[in-house]
Amino acid sequence: MMRFFFSFIVFSLIVMNVSGQIGGLSGSKLNSLCVDPVDKYQLEFEPGFYHLTSKKHWNETGTLVNSFASGDSLFNESALRFRFTYGVTARMEIGVTVPGDMSFGSWGVKYEVFNKNKSAFALIGGINTPFGNQTWKQKSEVSALQAGIGAIYTWSPTEAFSTDFSIQGARFFPKPEQSATKFFSVSADAGYYFFDGKLQLASGLGYQKIYNTNLDQYLVTLYPGVTIETGEDFVITIIHSVDVAGRNIEKQHITDLSFTFTIR
């Protein structure tokens, strides 16, 4: 029973952390965002689906243990999400990501600072707002706003190969009484295009640090994947992420499928 309770707590925290990331912004690979904004006056619409499984977690010493007393128990979750991103100018985009249950909205803005030779740099910011019809306690993570800032760097040595690096930080306002208060994450993706840019094989590595007064939490995730461009205005992205290290947090396997449409 205690294992199940601990599993529920840390799983809730990691889900909350995911929702705390800056949303609504475009990317060209897997987890890291890209510097290039959506073209001016164009809209990207991206429905996505993920399936998550978990049966183990890392405890306070970083040891991987079963989350359930029964060795054959498995936690499953599946959900939809929708992203809308609009190109405001040649250098700036705005957008929002909402889950299928409309429990919150992740609003974001990206501004391309420079894009010269093989390097590019952008600044990002965003705020997450709670939605839905429910009863909640004031000063909890459910009712608090989350604000974040970050930066993106892209290096493209050739037309076929490129890398994206993202760094983000976010915190709750007002500060929750019993929960994580702020987050920090870094991620790096690398991808190579085949078949005249129609197929991209990519892989990435991400690190998340969760600041909590009661728990020391972090997570390292590996996420290989592929993007398929079937046309100028349609991209399919498939990712299977695996958590490889952590502390006081669930070990998860997530398969994610998304479809990106460009509306001109």
Q: What is the mean pLDDT of residues 57-66?
A: 91
pTM across the whole model: 0.84
Residue with the larger pLDDT of the pair 12 and 157: 157
Domain assignment of residue 125, given as a range: 2-263
Which stretch, 2-6, 16-20, 97-101, 119-123, has highest mean pLDDT? 119-123
Residue whose pair of structure tokens reads 């290039």 in the numeric block: 36
Q: What is the mean pLDDT of residues 154-176?
A: 88
Residue whose pair of structure tokens reads 């991987």 in the numeric block: 64
Q: What percentage of the chain carries pLDDT values higher than 70?
A: 85
Whichever domain contains 257, its CATH number is 2.40.160.40
Q: pLDDT grade, residue 134 (50/70/90)?
A: low
Please report the pLDDT score of residue 130 as a whole number.
82
Please report the pLDDT score of residue 13 as a whole number.
39
Q: Which two tokens stand for residue 241?
A: 């992420």
Domain count, the chain: 1
Q: Is the pLDDT of residue 15 over 70?
A: no
Q: What is the mean pLDDT of residues 14-28?
A: 66
Q: Is the pLDDT of residue 41 over 60?
A: yes
Pick the closest to residue 180 from 6, 10, 60 (CA basis). Answer: 10
State whether residue 118 is helix, strand or coil. coil
- pLDDT tens-digit readout, 89-120: 999 999 999 998 888 899 999 999 999 989 99
Please report the pLDDT score of residue 138 as a whole number.
53
